[in-house]
Amino acid sequence: MITSDLSAATQALNSNDIIAMPTETVYGLAGNALEPLAIEKIYALKQRPAHNPLIVHLRSTEAITEVAAEIPETAWKLAEHFWPGPLTIVLKKKDAVPDIVTAGKPTVAVRVPNHPVALDLLAQLDFPLAAPSANPFASISPTSAEHVEKYFGEQLEVILDGGECIRGLESTIIGFEGETPIVYRLGALSLEQIENIVGSVRTMTDNETAPEAPGMLGRHYAPETDIIVSDNIAQALAANAGKSVGLMLFRDDTPGSGFTHAEVLSSSGDLEEAASRFYAALHRLDSLDIDLIVAEKMPENGLGKTMNDKLRRATHKDH
């Protein structure tokens, strides 16, 4: 059930149950990161592949040393600049972190969330929280408590309400080869923001068989409704004449006809505003009785690059 009762959340987590909690990025399905039983429940409820690792959420930057070892200077620099915030850092793990959290890898993904409810919750616990997005595997990420309730209903006794997620996209994930940063997942921090702090970074965002971090699999973030991406909306509508079509547009430049409903992410063309509304718009479109979602391709810069990556994975078909 949806609640603002922190004590109910801490009681559940201390009993190795799992809850949904808000972060600034998306809602997470949270459990004791140091307890394999809780982690098994997360994987089972999400129907998440066992080879796909989880992110561990910490109460503070200093807590990084409780779960990670051999922390490069560049990692400290990034953490001090962006935490609390939507940056996840992949580091060599300590033995206290169970292998099930890291999908058997010697590394652990960690971050400090920038949400008052999440931070209050973590401050009341003696352990960090593993918290992948609170949705069935590969479906649209949730940015409200209502999204989580729609997915899981009574399967979750506690859905901790923190309002709409202000970022609306998952955290950016960075790992290292020595001191060289490698971006494993595009997210709510743009590459430009990261490069302003550490210089140029490599990107390596696809891995189907042994992903170094969450979000690297081909099909992800996908609605139930068929979806295509186009940089020519009028042409896409003409090609799908006779179908009931919902549009997801960057700016408010809707065509005159040929569609059932349109979601405009930012009438002013602001990429941060568009990102904050991205998943919520997909949820609304997916709830309509339509044949097809046509999403406008975003500008290929800043957070537009992140949203295009999410759309690419949403339209990916498993073979």
Give the per-residue SS3 of the chain: CEECCHHHHHHHHHCCCCEEECCCCCCEEEEECCCHHHHHHHHHHHCCCCCCCCEEECCCHHHHHHHEECCCHHHHHHHHHHCCCCEEEEEEECCCCCCCCCCCCCEEEEECCCCHHHHHHHHCCCCCEECCECCCCCECCCCCHHHHHHHHHHHCCCEECCCCCCCCCCCEEEEEECCEEEEEECCCCCHHHHHHHHCCCEECCCCCCCCCCCCCCCCCCECCCEEEEECCHHHHHHHCCCCCEEEEECCCCCCCCCCCEEEECCCCCCHHHHHHHHHHHHHHHHCCCCCEEEEECCCCCCHHHHHHHHHHHHCCCCC
Give the residue range(s) of CATH 3.40.50.11030 domains in the chain: 226-314
Task: Report the Cα–Cα distance between both ends of the chain, in Å, rounded.
Answer: 37
pLDDT tens per residue across span 231-283? 999 999 999 999 999 999 999 877 778 899 999 999 999 999 999 999 999 99
Q: What is the mean pLDDT of residues 171-177?
A: 94
pLDDT confidence band for 40 (50 / 70 / 90): very high
> Which CATH number among 3.30.70.3270, 2.115.10.20, 3.90.870.10, 3.30.70.100 corresponds to the domain 2-203?
3.90.870.10
Give the residue range(s) of CATH 3.90.870.10 domains in the chain: 2-203
pLDDT confidence band for 160 (50 / 70 / 90): very high
CATH no., domain 226-314:
3.40.50.11030
pTM of the predicted structure, to 2 decimals: 0.95
pLDDT tens per residue across span 110-123? 999 999 999 999 99
